[in-house]
Amino acid sequence: MALLDDLFDYLTFKGAGDPPWRISKSFQDDDSDLLITVCEYPGAPADTLGRENERPKFQVYVRASRLDYATARAKWDQVYGYLQDAQDDGAGHLTGYAYIQSLAGGSPFPRQDDKGRWCLSTNFQVCKARA
């Protein structure tokens, strides 16, 4: 499976996208207020000479209703908790996808979009065993 499909399935399994929230892959429609988006971007080189482990990167973007920072931050905290140090440990942490570890790049980057909705984003790097 592709990275975004894996992340979508994992966050759905954990309940992050339960109504009224929605999860999207690489696309943000202009109408949804309560939205979690996962996007890929260029990763780092493989970590070994044999290229056994890939180093893809992705961004998680959380958007809440107009002027509702508290809701955006609470959802970001939840998603961050699911993804930070997530690994294939057989207990619902990216199970079956051969992920070794997921590491956040730091605290969320907050901003407001042109409709006044709070948006928080964080970049993650993953270590993934090649199939």
Indicate the pTM of the whole model.
Answer: 0.83
Q: At 20, list the tokens.
A: 């009224």
Number of domains in the chain: 1
Q: What is the DSSP string of 56-82?
A: EEEEEEEEEEET-HHHHHHHHHHHHHH
pLDDT tens-digit readout, 109-118: 899 999 999 9
pLDDT tens-digit readout, 44-53: 777 766 667 7
Low-confidence ranges of the chain (pLDDT < 70): 1, 48-51, 85-100, 130-131
CATH number at residue 23: 3.30.2000.10
Question: What domain range is 12 assigned to?
Answer: 3-129
> Would residue 85 be called left, alpha or beta, if left means φ above 0 and alpha means ψ between -120 and 50 degrees?
left
**53-66 and 117-129 strand pairing:** antiparallel
